[in-house]
Structure 1
Amino acid sequence: MAAMKRTPSVVLGLCSYTHDSSAALLVEGELIGFVEEERLSARKHTNLYPERAVAWLLDRAKLTAGDVDAVAYNFQPARYLAESPAAVRLALSAATRARALARAHGFAKVAVRTQRRTRAIARQFPAARVTPVLHHRAHQLTAFAASGWDEAAVLVVDSLGERQTTTIARGHTALRPRTQTLEAINDPASLGYVYGAVTEHLGWRRGDEEGTAMALAALGDPARFRALFAQAIRTNATGFHIDPAYFLPRTLTSGYERTSRRFVAETCPQRHPSEPLTDVHRDLAAALQERTEQVMVHLARRARTLAGSRRLCVGGGVATNCVSIGRIVEAGIFDEVFVPPAPGDAGTAIGAALAVHVDGRSPRPVAGVARTCYLGPSYEDKPLDLTPWPGLNQQTLDTGQAEFLAAQLAHGLIVGLFQGAVEAGPRALGNRSILASPLQPGVVERLNATVKFREPFRPFAPMVLAEHAREFFTLGQQAPYMSMASGVTDKTRELIPAIVHANDTSRLQTVTSSQNPFMHAVLAAFGRRTGVPVLINTSLNVKGKPICGTPQMALDCLANSGLDALLLEGRWITK
């Protein structure tokens, strides 16, 4: 009889060396914590080994590196190698022939590099076995386990995970969450690749500023380039195909353009970041966004057919496209749609750790993953020294903090909020937030110009008491992680137009008393004062900087931006 596979007691999940480095720790199947390295290092989208994140996790669990039984890495090196011989097929077409050798070489190089990285990780954990996990499986498990559902369809759409760009799976739980991939689409058919390519063409950083392109899309007319994108991204019975005449196949080697000469000729020259935005840029963004939404809804319908579930979990980088998620909800394909708080690559640290745990034979269930987002470090009991910030003053608020903060917001102050554990994922969810009243004239302009230092057309998301969401938004389901764009009601348009984007939607966050008691109390107090239990909520950072994970980062943000004040763990700090 074959020996049963032992389930490791301590599993460290890692996303590292690519972008958005992070770490997660499971002990006896329980998620001890998760944090993105940028929240501790102040280096946005860092690809460095998450040294600070790992140190915090081990310290929290009172463990050392020698206590780690298994390290789960969020890529499998060998899977890249399979694309090298497959890349030869590009030589059969005149449109892609010039990319064939570069692509084969690039994927082989990344396979070797990824293998080298897993060996480097192994040297840091002498008692651990390093297990590479298929990237899309890590995404699937992150999304499904976070939902807390017993079963669901799982759709993952990103730029690239080894060879895969899109997978449809069925998730089910028998003590522990599992996923079974039902269908996969491989590169070069990649929706994330195309969105990044156009974002870069519009003058922004791909892998960082796709949200800016999405915001710009609301100001354009998609009709101008609708036919082009219908040709460039063609749907079929099992997914979609990318026309290489417009978007050249990736090579995984720097120096190769993603857009073709034909794309440039039929749209516009690449915009330099210093150049003004014109109608052609707005229209290009609008057509890209429209086609992305159409393809995402198409994939959701395919997931419904294959998995046969009335619930859908969505993961991968494209899942951060909140307008597309809103379109899936509106289409009525599913009874409920769920996006985890960290749908991008950072969140795969959790999914990779889960994969190693569930592959063991122990019956230990998974705990601490479902419906939770406040997973990082907290600083409630830490002393605060303002000496490095001589222009700041503080006073301690002993009681009535929610009422006090609501009053300040109602009087028009823009306030940073730093409380409790740092959120997982790209959205501030009330623990590392900048809050403002949506009733104040010119608040969006002020936030963009003097606080966030970003483009004037960028919208701001609302947070609302969950029990009052239907008064202001038409989504029809909870949205706890600010991952879905919703239509708005006439009451919203009349009372709080500041939170309505040009496309007549808002990316909302619904707040319950169980999810975030303090923010629920603030919203309730603000509602009693103004009649509107809605606040503007944006992340506690300025453009180009990560969300503030530490008190020092938050104080820097206050000192160097147009914030009026910062409420930091019961201390009211002003300039």
Structure 2
Amino acid sequence: MSDIRTRIRPRFPRLGRAVRRTITGLLQVIGRLTSCHGPDSRYARERLKSLNQKLIGGETAWLLGITPGGHDTGAALVECSLAGGIKLHVNHEESRFLGLKHCAKFPRQAIAELGRDLAERGLEFSDIHATLLGWDYQRWAGVLTEPAVSEFPGSLQLLRAETSPVPFVPAVYQGVSTPYRLKRNFQLRGPAPVINLEHHDNHAYFSYAVSPFAASSDPVMILVVDGSGDVGAISWYLACDGCIERVQQNDSPFDSLGLLYGVLSSSQGGWPALSSEGRFMGASAWGNMDRLTNPFYSRLREILHFGPDGQVFLNRRLAGWHLRGCRRPYTPELSDILGPPIPPENMWNPDAILRVEDIEHAPITRERVDKAAAVQLVFEDGLFHIVSHFIRRTGSHKLVLSGGTALNCLANMRIVERFDADWFARYVPGEARHLHIWVPPAPNDEGVAAGAAIQFASLAGAPFGRPGTMLQHGFYCGRPPTRPEIETALQAADIGSVPLGDISNENDMFRIADLLAFLISRDGVIGLFQGAAETGPRALGHRSIVANPTNPATRTILNSLVKFRELIRPLAPMATLEAALEYFHLSPGASDDNYNAYNYM
């Protein structure tokens, strides 16, 4: 019998909601005066109506999506028409220009590059029908202020910048000041009007639009789970025949599987949030993944409370980040389970970071990877609960996962394995089925700028098009570098080069491919840089490091000598579908179409 008490509601919810409404309303009033409009504003309705009229008249329209604040900022360009549907042309991530992962700066470089994209197409900024934002920054400010008073007075600490991995005040300011920044960028006479759109809606539209399920006549579930959106942290959508409807959404930034994983992976792994989650997932593979024997799982499981309708609630008697954020995230009870958290000032400290090199020799390391496994198991429990409810409610067997947590490929694999034909036969009577899953390469915030433009086009009546049409190009969204640009970059870095041929020539292409295959077979490491850049954090062959998969030492070679990162980090295999079928067990729910989930997870 557990001795851990449970509390899932804030102490002063009415006070919190009142503050949320006040802050949001105030920013909406200011927004009307500064050309930063809400999704339900008169300006947004006018732009949507006029776009619909353009489409009906057979015209083509261009939409700009921007994520100006938060993490993973960027800009995207979308074309739409009734005849051609919705087309994603570019999705520029600011981090690619500045070399800063999870960049939170205003995307000046991405927008400048987008200006060149417009010029190449014979367009000017005045040809953009509407500019859409990846967040509803006005609502986000209210959502993030609400918790600071709903647990008054202890939660007032949340107003301090150091309690959040992404300080929200600069993020909101960058969002609401976007009209004036665009004015400067494009030398306009006045501020460029923008429309805030809900963050989770943008996730959902992007991930569905680029999925093999787009425009499917079958009902398709879309699940968005991240750290937090501008309303809550978990949203359920149902799509059918190209129409997307939100069917459920929580309204708390702390009832969040993404935030739970981010806080625990950072405070136990020794890396800052946003840099910790993938590393901690890798560490879990070294730990005890058995729910019956993992020494930390059963007590840590009490940190979540499951509701009857698929809800996931944080146990506020066990967690502490709803009061003090990342600064002091643990209660004494949680410290009793996991030990004290690693403080923010010790992040990246070599003595604090979780390492697995001595896993066979250091009991303390084995204990830490068991904790990682326990966190992963609890996280998966939450996803299982949400997905199970969603399937039972809708009867659907197709699932699109989005939000930053969808990058947890281990959990994605477990979802496919759990909701198999036997599960459906037991709980969803009818036609024999199993779950089909889709996870795009950019389910995180790198996809929401494009998602905002795609959402607006869809709401105006532009079709998604035949399933898979956007998928064929949607992940290579950067501008290919020119030969002079490559030569200039090599000279600036003082790197020698030898021309090998022209891959647009078939003979040269096969000759170069043979050379690369020979080098890899001799344990050489190849940096592959070709064509347009991928969007999202997955390397999909255009910006990839390629090495010998048959050499057991390859992981150590790449992590220690090439990527200079922890040996704990996993590597993703690259194979043709034929080779994958020969060497791997592919679950049918993720490998039964031409664009299967294994291509991108």
What TM-score results when the alignment is normalised by the length of structure 1? 0.75
- Match 2:399 to one of 309, 312, 318: 312
Post-superposition offset of 1:112: 6.3
Is the CA contact (8 Å cut-off) linking 1:34 and 1:424 kept in structure 2? yes
Checking the alignment, whether the CA contact within 8 Å between 2:284 and 2:373 is kept in structure 1 is yes
Deviation, 1:85, is: 8.7
Q: Could you tell me how far apart the structure 2 residues matched to 1:165 and 1:473 are?
A: 34
- Assess if the C-alpha contact under 8 Å between 1:11 and 1:25 holds in 2: yes
Secondary structure of the residue that 2:451 maps to in structure 1? helix
What do residues 445-501 of structure 1 show as CA deviations (whole Å, max 9, x unaligned)? Answer: 1111111111112221101111232222222333999997xxxxxxxxxxxxxxxxx
Query: Could you tell me whether the CA contact under 8 Å between 1:14 and 1:22 is conserved in 2?
Result: yes
| 452, 457, 460: which one aligns with 2:563 | 452
Query: 1:5 aligns to what SS in structure 2?
Result: helix
Distance 1:384 1:115, change over 3 A: closer
Q: In structure 1, what is the Cα distance between the partners aligned to 2:49 and 2:372? A: 50
CA distance in 2 between counterparts of 1:254 and 1:331 reads 33
Q: Which amino acid aligns with 1:216?
A: A
Gaps of 5+ in 1: 485-507, 512-575
Q: Residue 256 of structure 1: CA displacement?
A: 3.9
Per the alignment, in what secondary structure is the counterpart of residue 413 of structure 1? Answer: coil
Per mean C-alpha deviation after superposition, the further-off stretch among 146-155 and 111-120 is 111-120
Q: Map 1:464-503; keep pairs closer than 5 Å.
A: 464-476=575-587, 477-478=590-591
Corresponding residue to 1:351 among 434, 439, 451 = 451
1:10 lines up with 2:62 in the alignment: yes
User: Which amino acid is 1:36 matched to?
Assistant: E
The question of whether the paired residues in 2 share the 8 Å contact of 1:427 and 1:481 is answered with no
**Counterpart for residue 13 of structure 2:** none
* Structural mapping, 1:86-485, within 5 Å: 87=147, 90-91=150-151, 98-99=154-155, 102=158, 113=173, 116-121=176-181, 123-124=183-184, 126=188, 128-149=192-213, 150=216, 151-173=219-241, 177-187=242-252, 188-201=254-267, 202-221=269-288, 223-237=294-308, 238-250=310-322, 256-271=327-342, 272=346, 273-275=349-351, 277=354, 278-332=365-419, 334-360=434-460, 369-371=470-472, 372-379=474-481, 381-382=483-484, 384-385=487-488, 386-390=490-494, 392-398=496-502, 399=508, 400-476=511-587, 477-478=590-591
Task: Determine the C-alpha separation between the residues in 2 that align with 1:391 and 1:101.
Answer: 50
Report Cα offsets for 1:418-438 as digits up to 9, x if no partner.
111111111101111111111
Letter in 1 for 2:251: N
Moved more, 335-344 or 82-91: 82-91
Contact 1:153 1:308 in 2 (8 A): no
Distance 1:361 1:336, change over 3 A: closer
Change in 2 beyond 3 A, CA 1:368/1:41: farther
Q: Aligned residue for 1:546?
A: none
Distance 1:255 1:284, change over 3 A: closer
Inter-partner Cα distance in structure 2 for 1:158 and 1:373: 21
Name the structure 2 match of 1:34.
Answer: 91
The offset of 1:380, in angstroms, is 5.2
Contact 2:212 2:595 survives alignment (8 Å): no
**Whose strand fraction is larger, Structure 1's or Structure 2's?**
1
C-alpha distance in 2, partners of 1:479/1:341? 18
Amino acid at match of 2:480: S
Identity %: 27
Rate the CA distance shift 1:57–1:81 in 2: closer, same or farther, 3 A. Answer: closer
Structure 1 window deviating more from structure 2 (350-359 vs 121-130): it is 121-130
CA offset digits 1:256-309 (Å, max 9, x no partner)? 433333322321223443226423321211100111112112211222123332
Please say if residues 320 and 483 of structure 1, whose CA atoms lie closer than 8 Å, have aligned partners that are also in contact. no
Q: Go from structure 1 to structure 2 and tell me whether the alpha carbon gap of 1:113 and 1:40 turns closer, same or farther (over 3 Å shift).
A: closer
Deviation at 1:74, TM superposition (A): 1.3
Give, in whole Å, the separation in 1 of the partners of 2:183 and 2:476.
31
* Distance in 2 between residues matched to 1:57 and 1:114, nearest whole Å: 18
Higher helix share: 2
Contact 2:69 2:170 in 1 (8 A): no
Distance change (3 Å), C-alpha of 1:113 and 1:393: closer
Query: Secondary structure of 1:33's partner?
Result: strand
In the superposition, the TM-score normalised over structure 2's length comes to 0.72
Amino acid at match of 1:98: G
For residue 332 of structure 1, report the CA deviation from its aligned partner: 2.8
Contact in 2 for aligned 1:165/1:190 (Cα 8 Å): yes
Q: Residues 131, 18 of structure 1: CA spacing in aligned structure 2 closer, same or farther, 3 A cutoff? A: same
For 1:52, the equivalent position in structure 2 comes to: 109
- Asked if the contact 2:402–2:444 (Cα under 8 Å) also holds between the matched residues in 1, the reply is yes
With 43-52 and 312-321 compared, the bigger mean Cα shift is at 43-52
Residue 387 of structure 1 aligns to a residue whose secondary structure is: helix
Note if contact 2:477-2:533 (Cα within 8 Å) is conserved in structure 1.
Answer: yes
- Report if the CA contact (8 A) 1:315-1:343 is conserved: yes
- Report the alpha carbon displacement of residue 242 of structure 1 after superposing the two structures with TM: 0.8
Q: CA RMSD in A?
A: 3.3
Would the alpha carbon gap of residues 17 and 416 (structure 1) be closer, same or farther in structure 2, given more than 3 Å must change? same
Give the CA deviation at 1:18: 1.0
Stretch moving more, 253-262 or 322-331: 253-262
Q: Which runs of 5+ in 2 are unaligned?
A: 1-44, 55-60, 81-85, 355-364, 421-433, 503-507
Cα deviation, residue 68, structure 1:
2.2
Q: Secondary structure at the match of 2:225?
A: strand
Q: 2:227–2:257: 8 Å Cα contact kept in structure 1?
A: yes
Q: Deviations over 1:489-541 (max 9, x none)?
A: xxxxxxxxxxxxxxxxxxx6479xxxxxxxxxxxxxxxxxxxxxxxxxxxxxx
CA distance change for structure 1 residues 255 and 442 in 2, over 3 Å: closer, same or farther?
Answer: closer
Residue identity opposite 1:433 in structure 2: S
Shift of 1:231: 0.2
Number of paired residues? Answer: 479
* Mapping for residues 63-82 of structure 1, pairs under 5 Å: 63-80=123-140
For the Cα contact (< 8 Å) 1:22–1:53, is it kept in 2? yes
Q: Distance in 2 between matches of 1:377 and 1:241?
A: 43
Which letter does structure 2 place at the counterpart of 1:323? Answer: L
Q: Distance in 2 between matches of 1:227 and 1:74?
A: 38
